[in-house]
Amino acid sequence: MKRLFTLIVLMLTLTTVFAQESETVEMADTMRANGGIYVVVATLTIIFLGLAVYLFALDKRLKKIENEK
């Protein structure tokens, strides 16, 4: 019984140790809290959309040249 008890206590401490570990992993939490990440996402989205529109425009111009023949 005593053994089992020690085992359970040890297991519980193990989980708490894990929990503490994961809390100390540094992530961009402040950036998320300040809303700073949205600026980055907006920038990336605009860059990518710009590239996509550019490709669509190329596609359209090509279609015109193909139809000339």
Partner 1 sequence: MKFIYLSWWKYLAVAIIMYTLLAGFLLGVPRLFILHETIRNTYFHVPMWIAMFTVFTISVIFSIKYLGSGNEKHDLLAVECANVGVFFFVLGLITGMIWADYAWGEYWSNDPKQNSAAIAFLLYCAYLVLRNAIDEEQKRAKISAIYNIFAFPIMIVLIMVLPRMTDSLHPGNGGNPAFGKLDMDNRMRMVLYPAFIGWSLFAAWIATLRYRVRLVEYNRNSIN
The contact set with partner 1 (CB under 8 A) reads 21-22, 25-28, 37, 40-41, 44-45, 48-49, 52, 55-56, 58-59, 62-63, 65-66, 69
Q: Which is nearer to partner 1, 8 or 51 (CB)?
A: 51
Q: Which is nearer to partner 1, 7 or 50 (CB)?
A: 50
Rg (the chain; Cα; Å): 28
Question: 28 Cβ partners below 8 Å, 6+ apart?
Answer: 37
Q: Which is nearer to partner 1, 4 or 29 (CB)?
A: 29
Question: 31 Cβ partners below 8 Å, 6+ apart?
Answer: 37
